Structure 1
Amino acid sequence: MSSYQVLARKWRPHDFETIVGQDHVVTALTRALTEKRLHHAYLFTGTRGVGKTTISRIFAKALNCRGADGNGDITAKPCGVCDACRAIDAGRFVDYIEMDAASNRSVEDMTALLERAMYAPTVGRFKVYMIDEVHMLSSTAFNAMLKTLEEPPEYVKFILATTDPQKVPITVLSRCLQFNLRNMTPAGIVGHLEHILSTESIPAEKEGLRLIAQGARGSMRDALSLLDQAIAFSGGNVTGASVRSMLGMTGGDTLAGILEALVQGDAPAMLARADEMQGESLSFAQALRDLAGMLHRIALLQRVPGAVSPDEPTYAAEAALAKAMSPEEVQLYYQIALHGRNDLGLAPDEYAGFTMTLLRMLAFKPSGLKVRHVPPRDGGAAAAPSLPAAWAAPAASALETAPAISRAPTSLAMAPMPPAQSVPPWGELPAG
Structure 2
Amino acid sequence: MSEFSLESPTEDAVDAPAAEGGRAAPAQPYLVLARKYRPTSFGDLIGQDAMVQTLANAISKDRIAHAFLMTGVRGVGKTSTARLIAKALNCIGPDGKGGPTIDPCGQCEPCRAIGEGRFIDVVEMDAASNTGVDDVREIIDASRYAAVSARYKIYIIDEVHMLSKNAFNALLKTLEEPPAHVKFIMATTEVGKVPVTVLSRTQRFDLKRIPAERLAQHFGEIAAKEGAEIEPDALKLIAGAAEGSVRDGLSLLDQAIAHGSGAITAEAVRGMLGLSDRNRTRDLLARILEGDSKGALGELNAQYTLGVGPDMALEALLETVHSITRMQVGADVDLVTSADGKQKLAEWADQLSASVLHRFWQLLLKGLEEVKRGTMALQTAEMAILRLIHAAQMPDPGALLKALDGAAASSAQAAPAEAPAATAAPTALASPAQAHPAPPRQPVFQGLPKSYDQLLDFFVKAEPKVEAWLHDQVACVGFSETELVLSGRAHDERVRELREEVRREFGVDLSVRFEDVAGAATVQEQKEARAAAERQSVLDDPAVRRVMDIFPAAQLIEYDLTGTEDADGAGVSAHSTQRNAL
TM-score, normalised on structure 1? 0.84
Query: What is aligned with 2:440?
Result: none
The residue identity in structure 2 corresponding to 1:328 is S
Aligned to 1:197, which of 198, 219, 223? 223
The residue identity in structure 2 corresponding to 1:177 is Q
Query: What is aligned with 1:331?
Result: 358
- Listed as ranges, the matches of 1:10-409 within 5 Å are 10-304=36-330, 306-308=331-333, 312-313=337-338, 314-365=341-392, 367-368=394-395, 403-408=542-547
Structure 1 segments unaligned to the other structure (5+ residues): 370-399, 418-432
The residue identity in structure 2 corresponding to 1:312 is T
* In structure 2, distance between residues paired with 1:260 and 1:100: 52
* In structure 2, distance between residues paired with 1:358 and 1:415: 24
**Residues 209 and 97 (structure 1), Cα distance of their counterparts in 2 relative to 1, 3 Å cut:** same
* In structure 2, distance between residues paired with 1:151 and 1:24: 27
TM-aligned CA deviation for residue 151 of structure 1: 0.5
TM-aligned CA deviation for residue 325 of structure 1: 2.0
Q: Secondary structure at the match of 1:50?
A: coil
TM-aligned CA deviation for residue 315 of structure 1: 1.1
What is the RMSD computed on CA atoms of the aligned residues? 2.2
**Residues 405 and 368 (structure 1), Cα distance of their counterparts in 2 relative to 1, 3 Å cut:** closer
Query: What is aligned with 2:533?
Result: none
Query: What is aligned with 1:383?
Result: none
The 8 Å contact of residues 329 and 366 in structure 1, kept in 2 or not, is answered as: no
**Residues 85 and 416 (structure 1), Cα distance of their counterparts in 2 relative to 1, 3 Å cut:** closer
The residue identity in structure 2 corresponding to 1:145 is L
The 8 Å contact of residues 265 and 362 in structure 1, kept in 2 or not, is answered as: yes
**Residues 362 and 34 (structure 1), Cα distance of their counterparts in 2 relative to 1, 3 Å cut:** same
The 8 Å contact of residues 309 and 315 in structure 1, kept in 2 or not, is answered as: no
Q: Name the one with the larger strand percent.
A: 2
* In structure 2, distance between residues paired with 1:254 and 1:409: 40
**Residues 333 and 275 (structure 1), Cα distance of their counterparts in 2 relative to 1, 3 Å cut:** same
**Residues 311 and 246 (structure 1), Cα distance of their counterparts in 2 relative to 1, 3 Å cut:** closer
* In structure 2, distance between residues paired with 1:307 and 1:243: 23
**Residues 328 and 224 (structure 1), Cα distance of their counterparts in 2 relative to 1, 3 Å cut:** same
Map Cα deviations across residues 313-334 of structure 1 (whole Å, 9 max, x no partner).
Answer: 1212211222232211111111
Which protein shows a greater Rg?
2
The 8 Å contact of residues 75 and 247 in structure 2, kept in 1 or not, is answered as: yes
Q: Secondary structure at the match of 2:229?
A: coil
* In structure 1, distance between residues paired with 2:102 and 2:543: 77
* In structure 2, distance between residues paired with 1:40 and 1:161: 15
Q: Secondary structure at the match of 1:98?
A: strand
**Residues 118 and 302 (structure 1), Cα distance of their counterparts in 2 relative to 1, 3 Å cut:** same
Map Cα deviations across residues 190-236 of structure 1 (whole Å, 9 max, x no partner).
Answer: 11111212232311111111111111111110000000001111111
Q: Secondary structure at the match of 2:156?
A: strand
The residue identity in structure 2 corresponding to 1:174 is S
**Residues 26 and 95 (structure 1), Cα distance of their counterparts in 2 relative to 1, 3 Å cut:** same
TM-aligned CA deviation for residue 279 of structure 1: 1.0
* In structure 2, distance between residues paired with 1:83 and 1:208: 41
* In structure 2, distance between residues paired with 1:409 and 1:3: 75
The 8 Å contact of residues 101 and 136 in structure 1, kept in 2 or not, is answered as: yes
Map Cα deviations across residues 221-266 of structure 1 (whole Å, 9 max, x no partner).
Answer: 0000000001111111121100110011001111101111111111
The 8 Å contact of residues 263 and 324 in structure 1, kept in 2 or not, is answered as: no
TM-score, normalised on structure 2? 0.63
The 8 Å contact of residues 260 and 321 in structure 1, kept in 2 or not, is answered as: no
**Residues 311 and 147 (structure 1), Cα distance of their counterparts in 2 relative to 1, 3 Å cut:** closer
* In structure 1, distance between residues paired with 2:241 and 2:378: 22
Name which structure has the greater RCO, CA cutoff 8 Å, separation 6+: 1
